[in-house]
Amino acid sequence: MPRPAPVADLIEPRSYRGLDASELGRRLRELRKQRKQTQGALSRRTGIATSTISKVENNQLSPSFETLLRLAEGLDVALTELLAPRDGSGGLTRLCVTREGQGRHHETQPYHYEILCTELVNKRMHPLIARLKARSRTEFGELFHHPGEELFYVLEGEVELHTEHYGPTRLAKGDCAYLDSTMGHGCLSVGAEDALVFWVSIVS
Amino acid sequence: MPRPAPVADLIEPRSYRGLDASELGRRLRELRKQRKQTQGALSRRTGIATSTISKVENNQLSPSFETLLRLAEGLDVALTELLAPRDGSGGLTRLCVTREGQGRHHETQPYHYEILCTELVNKRMHPLIARLKARSRTEFGELFHHPGEELFYVLEGEVELHTEHYGPTRLAKGDCAYLDSTMGHGCLSVGAEDALVFWVSIVS
DNA sequence: TAAAAAATTATCAAATAGGAAAATTCTTTC
DNA sequence: GAAAGAATTTTCCTATTTGATAATTTTTTA
């Protein structure tokens, strides 16, 4: 049975600022106006009564999932676009720099991790540098698997990437791999020295 | 006025596959099981009756926005995570490898890009290698700004990172920076040779 | 500015969601 | 494998949402 990756535990999930119940109406009206649609037009496109649309826009009722889906479709937006307007205007500008060797170090069986930019919480991607200690498939143990995606770039040494659904692949310095983390995966060092990779992971 | 980054144009927006009405139940149950919660436990956390949770899980009713919000909160996930599971949690296992120098090359004024893992669409992160051509702030021109977040790791040379809200920062080989892309930003080479960075960007 | 048209909101009946508790199904324990 | 316990589903009833239509407000036109 695959085990969850230890990184996943170290990574605090991104705090999401979605709409709260009282903002949905404003948001719906905003999108509709943007598209220069009237309630009537939106009603025709979605089959939802104008009276209902009015009540939603005025936060007088909490529409069902069905209704939300039809509204989003009628506005030609993804549901997430309706419910979680991308920020950017939210304007929380941030910057974080980690100098070579100054990350937070963390030891696991097959990898030594140096986790980078840990001062910055709420980031969506999680960069780290991993030194691959395992040198054989058996030494690695069970493959990791967890929700999300990850990619890595080989900085030093030679890597053998093992996954659940593909044959082992060799990667040399300068090579890059991208994979779906739900698929069992794990990296070994196969060169003379332990390999070093720059790794970026995104959860769920 | 800041200009949008040319990378943004090259990156195909992540194709969003939202849930349709009949998938919500399965999705809710999946998340709940993942967290090893019972309907009873989730009920206690959210104040929603187990009977209601059961009906939602079996697609016997279409929960209101209120209820959706409370369910997401009780599961400790963003609403979007409940409603729009990323591919990958859907178990579409994928792998993509790009060998050194084999990415898609793309020239812009301040950067030469080599975009990696382009065969894989629908990925959330976008890795590339950038050679920094600009050597002064004026040569760079307007700072880039676009929705999303990005990080980079210095592979060669010396980098000066300019941003809208922070003073310029020098980065040497092995250093890593993480930033909010909505803030104006741009990198210069300040060493003897053009600097080379491994860059990862995530849009919206 | 008055009248007409369009858009939005209020009203009320019908349909659907949501909760309490009983009934069932699934797990554990002996 | 039966009994006990836990988890889930069903039942039944109340609260809320939804749609049709009427009333109101806003916009357009003459």
Instruction: pLDDT tens for chain B, 204 residues: list them.
Output: 555 555 555 444 443 456 777 788 888 888 888 888 889 988 999 889 998 999 999 888 999 998 998 888 888 888 888 887 654 444 455 899 999 999 999 999 999 999 999 988 778 899 999 999 999 999 999 999 887 899 999 999 999 999 998 999 999 999 999 999 888 999 999 999 999 999 999 886
Contact B164 A97 (CB under 8 A): no
Name the residue in chain A with its Cα closest to that of B121. Answer: A178
Residue whose pair of structure tokens reads 């060092």 in the numeric block = A189
Calculate the angstrom distance between C1' of C21 and CA of B50: 11
Helix (H) or strand (E) holding A79: helix A79-83
Cross-chain residue pair A95–B166, CB shorter than 8 Å = yes
Q: Are A113 and A144 in contact (CB under 8 A)?
A: no
Give how far Cα B161 sits from Cα of A90, A97, B146, B158, Å. Answer: 23, 10, 16, 10
Angle formed at CA A59 by CA A58 and CA A64, multiple of 5 degrees: 125
What local confidence, expressed as pLDDT, does residue A190 receive? 96
pLDDT given at position A16 = 42
| pLDDT over 90 at A1, yes or no | no
A6-10, A162-166, B124-128: which range is least confident on average? A6-10
CB contact under 8 A, A149 and B116: no
Residue-by-residue DSSP string for A138-189: HHH-SPB--SSEEEEEEEES-EEEEESSS--EEE-TT-EEEEETTS-EEEEE
Q: How far is the CA of A60 from the C1' of C10 (A)?
A: 12
CA distance A86 to A66: 22
Q: What is the pTM of this model?
A: 0.65
Strands B176-180 and A159-163: unpaired
pLDDT at A130 over 50: yes
| Rounded Cα gap, residues B41 and B50, in angstroms | 9
Nucleic strand C under 7 Å from the C-beta of B61 = yes
At B60, list the tokens: 């016997």
Top-confidence residue, A85 or A54 = A54
